[in-house]
Amino acid sequence: MSLSLSNQQEIACQAEASFELADQLEVRLCRRMRLREDCDMKLKIRIIALTSFTMLAATLQAAEFHVVIRGNDANRGTKSAPLRTIQRAADIAQPGDIITVHAGVYRERINPPRGGNSDRKRIVYRAAPREHVEIKGSEIVKGWARVQEDVWKVTLPNSFFGGFNPYSDLIRGDWFDPKGREHHTGAVYLNGDWLIEAAKLDEVTKPAGNAPLWFSQVDVANTTIWAQFKGVDPNAQLVEINVRQTVFYPDQPGRNYITVRGFALRHAATPWAPPTAEQIGLIGTHWSKGWIIEDNVISHSVCSGIALGKHGDRYDNTSANSAEGYVKTIERAHAFVIPWTREHIGHHVVRNNTISNCEQTGIVGSLGAAFCTVEGNIIHDIHERRLFTGAEMAGIKFHAAIDTTIRGNHIYRANMGLWLDWMAQGTRVSANLFHDNAGQDLFVEVDHGPFVVDNNLFLSPTSVLDMSEGGTYAHNLFAGKMTNRPEPDRETPFHPPHSTTVAGLVSIKGGDDRFYNNIFVGNGAPSTSAPTAAAKELRWISSFGLWGYDTRELPLQTGGNVYFHGARPYANEKNPLVLSDHDPDIRFVEESGRMVLHLALEKSLREARTTLVNSALLGKAKIPGLAYLNPDDSPLKVDRDYFGKHRNQSQPAPGPFEKPGESNLKLEVW
């Protein structure tokens, strides 16, 4: 096997260090023993150094296995004798090895039997540079027979599916709402786009509408699928059906330090992924540590795209509608054979992926999403079909995002953008772009903080649903409503700093948030200065601006905020800049493949009395009694803007952009 360039360089550096160490040992030992001229001693020391280097080189020796669509799994996996399947390469790869997959469509489920040993000695699965590699959980189906007009059917033996048949596999689980009908994890695709599952066969036999339908029946021997193929012969087109539950997922937890890079991963019959059950995505980490999932295109998962979440046990899907049930889930995770601790779980990096057409979440993670970085991803068209519903649905849905950073992502056309549910502590949400989400861009549910939300663009009709406390919101642009409510009926955990240990359980009183240097935009309508009696009774209060927090039990800390076009400040805010008559005329458009934000600011913006947001300003979140710090315990500074530009240290500009200019602006934000 050839030695990779990076490992060759590493060996060379280690060799140089070994010889330098030999020289140092030679001098020190000879001086100490007065044997500076003793050649025998010199030779012994030199032999020790060379032996160490030889052992090091052997340790660093890495194999690269090549996979080619016309390869053979009996081959050795070299470039000249490549393998046929990715799974065969996975079976033989060892820590430090690289699996390079060449162009083609691979229809298989990869179950990595092992992971790497460390971040420096991981197992890497990668698409060959500049080659298009697809891995699909579907199979092509021919032999369709016309039933009538645009309706066709195919009958397949159940053996076609092996041990898992998605057309008899129902979507179900904690907090899942089927909306009065059955849903299966199967799917039918015509030229890459999926059809919609009908509730009854007679819906398929009606004339096809704009959204073609399919329906299936499974008996003891066969699976029959009816589908609408409007105006086309399915035997002359690319028709695929789900066959595999997942595309890349280990069957056991604890497969650590795996990299998956550069693939198109599509078509998975994934199950519902609540926080109280094993979470299986189209690609998933299965309760492990240190994965890197980067530069992939991930699409068409019946439930979730990427899963960073929980292991399974006999209590899966037994805790619906019970806060106590999830508390027990946390306790069992701590007692699991691979316990939920900083040393064992999380630390994943998910970056620069495009994730779409997933009906539950783009990225999901319960407990396993702690200590992670999620950045640079494009996530769109999540829960677009609205066939079923329930909790746990968003572009990103995390429970226990402890010390996790979510930055620089673009999330749009989802039922909601980002949902941080339970135990968002030490979490930072920074410089993300949210727009055209049906629900709120950000939902923080029953978290006690400290967490930080800075430099984000919230451009959907509802910016934030706040059912938490202890959050800091700094330098954001809020173009939609702010909705907040306490949650006195559930007690949820908080933790010691940088830990998964539960320090206590407390309900949410509401408030104790910090809002500094944000821009709020109203809808131009006159805004009441106090919540209505009905709103108080329901505990839900929505507002443009911060006046909806006026009656909350725990006070806010505020300063440097700007309120445009009818948005109103918090009652106790000192020196807010209120520009009710000015409409920033926010428009968000695509221009030549670029996402451009149009807005009109005015010179008065310079009058905002801002200050640099840092740990000293923010103090401590009330419930956990913890300061706002970085995950490494260094002081926090919000000293860069949405684009990464340094902020003025004495008087930073309000909003996400430092010195953006005035009047009519056009800012390329993606």
**What does the pLDDT look like over 447-473, one tens digit per residue?**
999 999 999 999 999 999 999 999 999
Do 15 and 45 share a domain, yes or no?
yes
pTM score: 0.90
pLDDT tens, residue by residue, 534-549: 555 557 788 999 999 9
- The residue type found at 135 is I
The C-alpha angle 46, 49, 53, rounded to 5 degrees, equals: 135
* Furthest C-alpha separation in the chain: 100
Do 127 and 88 share a domain, yes or no?
yes
How sure is the predictor about 21, in pLDDT bands with cuts at 50, 70 and 90? very low
C-alpha span between 104 and 71 (Å, rounded) = 11
Q: Find all residues with CB under 8 Å of 343, minimum gap 6, and list them.
A: none
Domain that holds residue 109: 66-135
Q: Find all residues with CB under 8 Å of 536, minimum gap 6, and list them.
A: 551
Across the chain, mean pLDDT equals 90
- Looking at 227, 242, 257, the residue that finishes a domain is 242
**Better pLDDT: 42 or 637:** 637
Identify whether the C-beta of residue 183 lies closer than 8 Å to the C-beta of residue 170: yes
Q: Is the pLDDT of residue 32 over 50?
A: no
Identify whether the C-beta of residue 334 lies closer than 8 Å to the C-beta of residue 500: yes
Task: Name the 3-class secondary structure at 408.
Answer: coil
pLDDT tens, residue by residue, 125-183: 999 999 999 999 999 999 999 999 999 999 999 999 999 999 999 999 999 999 999 99
Q: What is the pLDDT of residue 51?
A: 46
Q: Find all residues with CB under 8 Å of 453, minimum gap 6, and list them.
A: 428, 429, 430, 442, 471, 472, 473, 474, 476
Do 179 and 200 share a domain, yes or no?
yes
Q: Is the pLDDT of residue 337 over 60?
A: yes
Task: Read off the pLDDT of each residue in 192-218 and give the average, rounded to a whole number.
Answer: 94
Q: What is the pLDDT of residue 603?
A: 76
pLDDT tens, residue by residue, 104-127: 999 999 999 999 999 999 999 999
Q: What are phi and psi of 226, to 5 degrees?
A: -105, 140
Q: What is the pLDDT of residue 180?
A: 94
Q: Is the pLDDT of residue 17 over 50?
A: no
In DSSP notation, 597-627 reads EEEEE-GGGGG------BHHHH-EETTTTEE
Q: Which structure tokens are listed for 494?
A: 């908080």
C-alpha span between 461 and 62 (Å, rounded) = 52
Task: Read off the pLDDT of each residue in 191-216 and give the average, rounded to a whole number.
Answer: 94
C-alpha span between 387 and 359 (Å, rounded) = 9
Is residue 542 one of the residues assigned to a domain? no
Is residue 318 one of the residues assigned to a domain? no
In DSSP notation, 502-524 reads --EEEEE-SB--EEES-EEE--S
Among 98-112, 202-216, 422-436, the range scoring the smallest mean pLDDT is 202-216
Q: What is the pLDDT of residue 664?
A: 84
Identify whether the C-beta of residue 308 lies closer than 8 Å to the C-beta of residue 372: yes
Among 29-33, 224-228, 313-317, the range scoring the smallest mean pLDDT is 29-33
Q: Is the pLDDT of residue 42 over 80?
A: no
Q: Is the pLDDT of residue 213 over 80?
A: yes
Is residue 82 one of the residues assigned to a domain? yes
Task: Name the 3-class secondary structure at 435.
Answer: strand
Q: What is the pLDDT of residue 139?
A: 98
Q: What is the pLDDT of residue 534?
A: 53
CATH number of the domain that residue 201 is part of:
2.60.40.1180
Is residue 199 one of the residues assigned to a domain? yes
Do 142 and 237 share a domain, yes or no?
yes
- Tell me how far the alpha carbon of residue 279 is from its chain's centroid: 13
Helix ranges (H only) for 109-218 are 201-204
Identify whether the C-beta of residue 464 lies closer than 8 Å to the C-beta of residue 446: no
Q: Find all residues with CB under 8 Å of 257, minimum gap 6, and list them.
A: 95, 115, 116, 117, 118, 119, 121, 122, 123, 289, 290, 291
Q: In 3D, which of 242, 249, 342, 354 has the Cα closest to residue 297?
A: 354
Is residue 31 one of the residues assigned to a domain? yes
Identify whether the C-beta of residue 417 lies closer than 8 Å to the C-beta of residue 380: no
Pairing between β-strand 620-621 and β-strand 514-516 as defined by DSSP bridges: unpaired
Task: Read off the pLDDT of each residue in 344-373 and give the average, rounded to a whole number.
Answer: 98
Beta bridge partner(s), residue 349: 292, 373
Do 29 and 50 share a domain, yes or no?
yes
Give me the number of domains the chain comprises.
3
Q: In 3D, which of 76, 56, 181, 64 has the Cα closest to residue 129?
A: 64
Identify whether the C-beta of residue 398 lies closer than 8 Å to the C-beta of residue 404: yes
Do 142 and 238 share a domain, yes or no?
yes
Identify whether the C-beta of residue 468 lies closer than 8 Å to the C-beta of residue 493: no
Do 142 and 212 share a domain, yes or no?
yes
- Tell me how far the alpha carbon of residue 439 is from its chain's centroid: 18
Q: In 3D, which of 373, 508, 519, 512 has the Cα closest to residue 459?
A: 519
**Better pLDDT: 639 or 51:** 639
How sure is the predictor about 60, in pLDDT bands with cuts at 50, 70 and 90? low
Identify whether the C-beta of residue 433 lies closer than 8 Å to the C-beta of residue 477: no
Do 230 and 143 share a domain, yes or no?
yes
Do 169 and 214 share a domain, yes or no?
yes
Is residue 89 one of the residues assigned to a domain? yes
Q: What is the pLDDT of residue 4?
A: 44
Do 119 and 148 share a domain, yes or no?
no
pLDDT tens, residue by residue, 590-621: 998 899 999 988 777 888 999 999 999 999 99
Do 86 and 145 share a domain, yes or no?
no
Do 150 and 81 share a domain, yes or no?
no
Cis omega (within 30 of 0) for bond into 450: yes
Q: Find all residues with CB under 8 Å of 124, minimum gap 6, and list them.
A: 97, 98, 99, 258, 259, 261
C-alpha span between 494 and 623 (Å, rounded) = 8
- The residue type found at 336 is F
C-alpha span between 362 and 411 (Å, rounded) = 10
Q: What is the pLDDT of residue 166?
A: 98
- Looking at 185, 211, 242, the residue that finishes a domain is 242
C-alpha span between 466 and 488 (Å, rounded) = 14
C-alpha span between 212 and 121 (Å, rounded) = 48
- Looking at 135, 163, 193, the residue that finishes a domain is 135
Among 28-37, 131-140, 262-271, the range scoring the smallest mean pLDDT is 28-37
pLDDT-above-70 percentage for the chain: 89
Q: Which structure tokens are listed for 556?
A: 């806010």
Is residue 39 one of the residues assigned to a domain? yes
pLDDT tens, residue by residue, 520-533: 999 887 655 565 55
Is residue 171 one of the residues assigned to a domain? yes
